[in-house]
């Protein structure tokens, strides 16, 4: 691994820092965090004390009252309600969330999760007919995590007398579907503060409005506790890598608390099979829970994951969790095989690549795991990356972006060469003819060059600002906890500590990692350095980038620095 530059994250003045620190009586490193992240001073009290009561009124969504009225009417008339979801964690949790809330209030609900390969992505006329054949007629259909570009499917449903409610968070096309209601913040400019919602977040907004409407009209909803379905929102939001800011941060904070309580048998079985403890964090969702849920849709049957989340029986839940373990092992094997093939292409100069972008393709690579491979390659090479699987005359793939590059916008410029594309700014799916791969890459690379700052392609580590060991006080760690939950766009703070002398160090983890103690003129602190040998530390004086942390499993242990990077002074 090459030497990386260190760059301070923010460009703030000493005066701005002092204003934040003294206005709210904050420890200086906490004030540094807010200044570096550009968080408005007026928003700091709410950031430190996020409350469910501060979630905005769901009635802000146009048409949402009409959607609620129709759902309650369906319940009164015993009309079946069909939920059309998606096969990733966001879509599966959104389906489970909405189904639970509706069933708690007397609805007859069926949930359809399309098969990644048999049905493809999204709400389509074909998936509509398959769902109706599977479950029979319905009066109302609600999409979750899909539907905003499904004009043909919505039209087909309406022709069959079905009222469609679309809940989604993806970018809309030029034409909106003619649905009864569109619950998607990206459709409404006035909902700018909600643009970051996940699919599960959008489904929660409909659920919130549904319960509010039922209580106002004395139709029901009095026994539903919405805070108890926030575990689903936390899973979907973190898994879909949307920013943990604004209302997302509030819902994930309380959703993590619900996950820790393991209210549902399926959640308990999932946590146990992932070998996790009760002190869950968003990173546990990212690296342990979501991959198991996603694996069902990638290499197996996503309905197994839905059955797990909806299970009322712990015995059944353990069975479903076991199936997810099998799917996940299969996913890991296929992913590693394709990743190694892709790396070999890159190193041998066989991939389409430039200093600005990267595209690799392989015949019959497993379509369910190429998105993960794209993520790994984008991280390895710090370039927007497309990974394609070639199947006959067609190629299907996934792309991952870097920095602030909007990959959907980039692909829109090469749309004539694509059969389909869509997704988020940071993650996309595409389909194209094999013969168009080379011209597509040239067009994509040209557009990336025009949109990205070359400085964003540099390999660097960002840090919030400088801190002293003497500032690592109990008060600081108390405030540090209030900055969580950490995740996308709200990463754990990284500080620069200068002139630290290593006075003790030893190998742990079979010599792979190092633990020890550092001191300087302001104090001393324990440290841990993963994947760094003792020789990097023994007898040295260093500048370090590190994240301060407490050991939650062993609260009697002293605070420590989790080392991110080091520079030897002498």
Structure confidence by residue, pLDDT tens digits, 409-428: 999 999 999 998 888 888 89
- According to the model, what pLDDT value does residue 3 have? 66
569 vs 504, higher pLDDT: 504
Map residue 518 onto helix, strand or coil: strand
Residues 6+ apart with CB under 8 A from 76: 219
DSSP 76: H
Structural contact between residues 233 and 266, judged by C-beta atoms closer than 8 angstroms: no
- According to the model, what pLDDT value does residue 455 have? 80
How far apart, in whole angstroms, are the C-alpha atoms of residue 423 and residue 172?
A: 10
Identify the residue whose tokens are 């936390």. 234
Peptide bond into 485 cis (omega under 30): yes
How far apart, in whole angstroms, are the C-alpha atoms of residue 145 and residue 302?
A: 14
Residues 6+ apart with CB under 8 A from 51: 250
| 38-52: pLDDT as tens digits | 999 999 999 999 999
How far apart, in whole angstroms, are the C-alpha atoms of residue 325 and residue 497?
A: 41
Q: What's the first-to-final CA gap in the chain, in angstroms?
A: 21
How far apart, in whole angstroms, are the C-alpha atoms of residue 486 and residue 502?
A: 29
Map residue 336 onto helix, strand or coil: helix
- Helix H, strand E, coil C: the string for 270-282 is HHHHCCCCCCCCH
In degrees and rounded to multiples of 5, residue 529 shows phi and psi of -130, 110
| 344-358: pLDDT as tens digits | 999 999 999 999 999
Provide mean pLDDT across the span 92-100.
98
DSSP 26: -
Q: What is the DSSP string of 208-268?
A: HHHHHHHHHTTSS-TT--GGGGHHHHHHHHHHTT----HHHHHHHHHHHHHHHHT-SHHHH
DSSP 491: P
- According to the model, what pLDDT value does residue 1 have? 38
Q: Is the pTM of this model over 0.85?
A: yes
Tokens at 261, concatenated? 């309580």
Residue 264 in this model has a pLDDT that exceeds 80: yes
How far apart, in whole angstroms, are the C-alpha atoms of residue 334 and residue 294?
A: 14
DSSP 262: T
């Amino acid at each position: 691994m090459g030497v990386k530059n260190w760059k301070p994250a923010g460009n703030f003045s000493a005066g701005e820092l002092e204003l934040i620190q003294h206005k709210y009586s904050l420890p200086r490193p906490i004030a540094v965090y807010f200044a570096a992240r550009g968080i408005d001073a007026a928003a700091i009290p709410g950031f430190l004390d996020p409350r469910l009561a501060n979630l905005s009124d769901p009635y802000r969504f146009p048409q949402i009252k009409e959607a609620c009225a129709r759902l309650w009417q369906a319940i009164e008339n015993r009309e079946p309600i069909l939920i059309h979801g998606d096969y990733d964690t966001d879509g599966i949790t959104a389906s489970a969330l909405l189904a639970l809330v509706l069933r708690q209030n007397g609805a007859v609900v069926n949930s359809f999760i399309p098969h990644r390969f048999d049905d493809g992505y999204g709400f389509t006329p074909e998936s509509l007919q398959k769902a109706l054949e599977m479950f029979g007629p319905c009066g109302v259909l609600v999409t979750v995590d899909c539907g905003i570009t499904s004009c043909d499917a919505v039209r087909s449903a309406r022709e069959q007398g079905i009222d469609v409610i679309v809940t989604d968070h993806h970018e809309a096309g030029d034409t909106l579907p003619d649905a009864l209601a569109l619950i998607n913040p990206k459709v409404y400019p006035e909902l700018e503060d909600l643009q970051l919602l996940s699919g599960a977040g959008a489904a929660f907004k409909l659920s919130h409005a549904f319960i509010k409407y039922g209580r106002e009209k004395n139709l029901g909803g009095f026994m539903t506790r919405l805070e108890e379905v926030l575990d689903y929102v936390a899973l979907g939001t973190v898994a879909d890598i949307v920013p943990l800011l604004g209302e997302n941060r509030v819902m994930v904070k309380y959703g993590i608390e619900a996950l820790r309580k393991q209210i549902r048998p399926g959640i308990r079985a999932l946590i146990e099979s992932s070998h996790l403890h009760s002190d869950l964090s968003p990173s546990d969702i990212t690296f342990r829970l979501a991959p198991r849920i996603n694996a069902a849709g990638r290499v197996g049957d996503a309905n197994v994951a839905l059955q797990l989340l909806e299970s009322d029986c712990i015995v059944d839940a353990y069975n479903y969790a076991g199936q997810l373990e099998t799917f996940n092992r299969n996913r890991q094997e296929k992913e590693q095989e394709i990743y190694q093939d892709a790396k070999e292409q890159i190193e041998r100069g066989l991939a389409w690549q430039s200093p600005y972008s990267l595209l690799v393709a392989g015949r019959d690579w497993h379509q369910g795991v190429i998105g993960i491979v794209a993520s790994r390659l984008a991280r390895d090479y710090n370039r927007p990356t497309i990974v394609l699987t070639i199947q006959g005359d067609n190629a299907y793939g996934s792309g991952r972006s870097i920095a602030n590059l909007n990959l959907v916008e980039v692909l829109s410029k090469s749309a004539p060469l694509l059969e389909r594309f869509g997704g988020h700014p940071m993650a996309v799916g595409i389909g194209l003819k094999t013969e168009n791969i080379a011209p597509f890459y040239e067009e994509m690379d040209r557009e990336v060059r025009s949109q990205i700052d070359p400085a964003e392609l540099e390999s660097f580590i960002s840090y919030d600002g400088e801190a002293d060991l003497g500032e690592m006080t109990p008060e600081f760690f108390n405030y540090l906890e209030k900055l969580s939950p950490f995740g996308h766009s709200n990463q754990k703070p990284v500080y620069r500590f200068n002139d630290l002398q290593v006075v003790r160090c030893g190998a742990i983890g079979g010599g792979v990692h190092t633990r020890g103690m550092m001191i300087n003129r302001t104090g001393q602190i324990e440290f841990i350095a993963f994947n760094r040998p003792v020789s990097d530390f023994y007898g040295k004086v260093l500048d370090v980038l590190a994240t301060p942390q407490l050991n939650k499993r062993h609260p009697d242990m002293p605070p420590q620095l989790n080392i991110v990077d080091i520079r030897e002074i002498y």
